[in-house]
A = this chain, B = another copy of it.
Amino acid sequence: MDWNTYLDQNQARFDAELMEFLRIPSVSTAPERADDVRRAADWVRRRLRAAGMPFVELLETTKHPVVFGRWVTGDSKPTLLLYGHYDVQPAEPLDLWESDPFQPDERDGKLFARGSADMKANLSTLIQAIEAIAKTSGALPVNLLVLCEGEEEIGSPNLPDIVRQRKDQLKADFALSADGGMQDASRPSLSVGLKGIAGCQINLRSGETDLHSGSYGAAVPNANQLLVQLGATFHNHDNSVAIEGFYDDVRPLTDQEQAAIAAIDASDSDFLEESGTFELWGEPGFSALERRWTRPTVDFNGIWGGFQGQGAKTVTPCEAHLKLTCRLVPNQDPRTILGLIERHIEKHTPDGARVTIDRMKGSAHPFSLDMNAPALKVAAAALQEVYGAEPLYVRSGGTVPITGVFKQELGLDTVTIGFARPGSRAHAPNEWFVLSDLAVARRSYATFLTKLGEI
């Protein structure tokens, strides 16, 4: 039997396995979900073992374990390092979901669940593709290493150290990340760029205690007002970032990179509709696609202070908070950017306020793949075979922190192949994945592995 037939015959079981995986609420940022996160790690470990991988273990960290696997079948074969993550974003706000985020629900050919697009469907189909090849050919076309973490959604605070510590065990020729998506529903995509990330929480205090807004409000600072005042200094009127030096290290795109972006058929109006926002926004002089792929940002992910309940409470609050993250592009450095942010805050903290800054655990360098890398060419050939169409070379505004680490520490170029469609609501309520794409994903991963063995 060839692996194609095996995939067809086992499709129902494979789909059911994904449902099982999606039912585990592996929210890495929530301390009360730690046991569930570990259950998801163990699910991956057992699934890799069942696929035939002889050696799979959980590497402990200060938080969530890393699944580490190794399957070496011949010294002459190339070695591929596979990367994925088994954790998911929080599902809140729950009232905006049309079905339980952790009870996968099929509607209109889509599977709705937290983690479906990002990235449990990709991860499970990749493992299933490995099983299909192994069970039908007896041996793998390549040697495999697996690193699957449970902390991607909190910025991968531990995986980089593990990579550094285990350099010897991680020698490979190429890396494949399954944490990606598609630019177009009908043509395959290959990612050649990811943004980096850095962030912090600003904690502003104006005094020791909340005060009566009548007795005090006219004569004492209001923490909410001071935070609003400070927050308003982060962007210019034209929506560009106002932090001094923020754009200094942004490298201009090469001609080849610009041509690849120009080849994408993406209209601002389609993106507006898909986003569900009322108007587009961003730096002047760039299309929405250019902003998303190539321009760095400062985003206010959360703000809070004072009374949020029903009705009124006439309080002058003494503390307020702001969570912000920056998406970074080559060659911005996360630490440099955090330094600039801290200097900006210091300079713009209003009179009457005291500010502390908690740096976000985990940060990531932006990632850029040479468009002539050999593994990228194999991936392009594999996807062309499955889809019957040439792949698009795309970028993402998202972040997969580990790709930068693989390059820096292991000298590896990471090819990203993933199947989340545009608009699939990763990180948002009602996240989805197209059911029929599960079979396409399995076939694509198997083709890539097979072709990689022929290099």
User: Is A295 among interface residues, defined by CB-CB distance under 8 A?
Assistant: yes
User: Is A387 among interface residues, defined by CB-CB distance under 8 A?
Assistant: no
**Which of A69-77, A244-252, A321-329, A436-444 participates in binding chain B?**
A321-329
User: Is A339 among interface residues, defined by CB-CB distance under 8 A?
Assistant: no
User: Is A306 among interface residues, defined by CB-CB distance under 8 A?
Assistant: yes
- A303–B89 alpha-carbon span in the complex (Å): 24
- A361–B312 alpha-carbon span in the complex (Å): 8
User: Is A351 among interface residues, defined by CB-CB distance under 8 A?
Assistant: yes
Please tell me if the beta carbons of A195 and B214 are within 8 angstroms of each other in the complex: yes
**Which of A39-47, A51-59, A136-144, A392-400 participates in binding chain B?**
A392-400
List residues 1-52 of chain A with CB under 8 A from any CB of chain B.
Answer: 29-31
Report the minimal beta-carbon distance from A105 to chain B, rounded to whole angstroms. 17
Report the minimal beta-carbon distance from A320 to chain B, rounded to whole angstroms. 7
Contact of A220 among B209, B275, B300, B307 (CB under 8 A): B275
Return the chain B residue nearest A233 by Cβ: B232
Q: Of A218, A234, A277, which is in contact with the most chain B CB atoms at under 10 Å from its CB?
A: A218
Q: How many residues of A contact B (CB 8 A)?
A: 100
Please tell me if the beta carbons of A275 and B216 are within 8 angstroms of each other in the complex: yes
User: Is A128 among interface residues, defined by CB-CB distance under 8 A?
Assistant: no
Report the minimal beta-carbon distance from A368 to chain B, rounded to whole angstroms. 15
- Also in contact, A396 and B214, with CB within 8 A (given A275-B207, A314-B325, A427-B313): yes
- What residues of chain B lie closer than 8 Å to A185, measured between beta carbons? none
Contact of A222 among B31, B214, B300, B308 (CB under 8 A): B300
Please tell me if the beta carbons of A209 and B309 are within 8 angstroms of each other in the complex: no
Return the chain B residue nearest A354 by Cβ: B278
- What residues of chain B lie closer than 8 Å to A327, measured between beta carbons? 213-214, 217-218
User: Is A177 among interface residues, defined by CB-CB distance under 8 A?
Assistant: no
Report the minimal beta-carbon distance from A271 to chain B, rounded to whole angstroms. 7
User: Is A404 among interface residues, defined by CB-CB distance under 8 A?
Assistant: no
Flag A210-244 by CB within 8 Å of B: 1 or 0 each.
11111111111110110111011011000000000
- A426–B231 alpha-carbon span in the complex (Å): 30
Contact of A397 among B29, B214, B308, B352 (CB under 8 A): B214
Q: Of A289, A295, A301, A396, which is in contact with the most chain B CB atoms at under 10 Å from its CB?
A: A301
User: Is A270 among interface residues, defined by CB-CB distance under 8 A?
Assistant: no
- A427–B317 alpha-carbon span in the complex (Å): 11
Please tell me if the beta carbons of A428 and B315 are within 8 angstroms of each other in the complex: yes
Please tell me if the beta carbons of A288 and B219 are within 8 angstroms of each other in the complex: yes
- A318–B195 alpha-carbon span in the complex (Å): 22
22 contacts between A and B (CB under 8 A): A90-B307, A154-B311, A209-B425, A210-B428, A210-B429, A213-B427, A214-B399, A216-B275, A218-B296, A222-B299, A224-B322, A231-B232, A276-B318, A278-B353, A281-B351, A281-B352, A301-B317, A303-B306, A304-B304, A304-B305, A312-B325, A314-B325
Closest 8 CB pairs of A and B: A214-B398, A207-B277, A208-B276, A232-B232, A29-B311, A224-B300, A302-B306, A228-B231
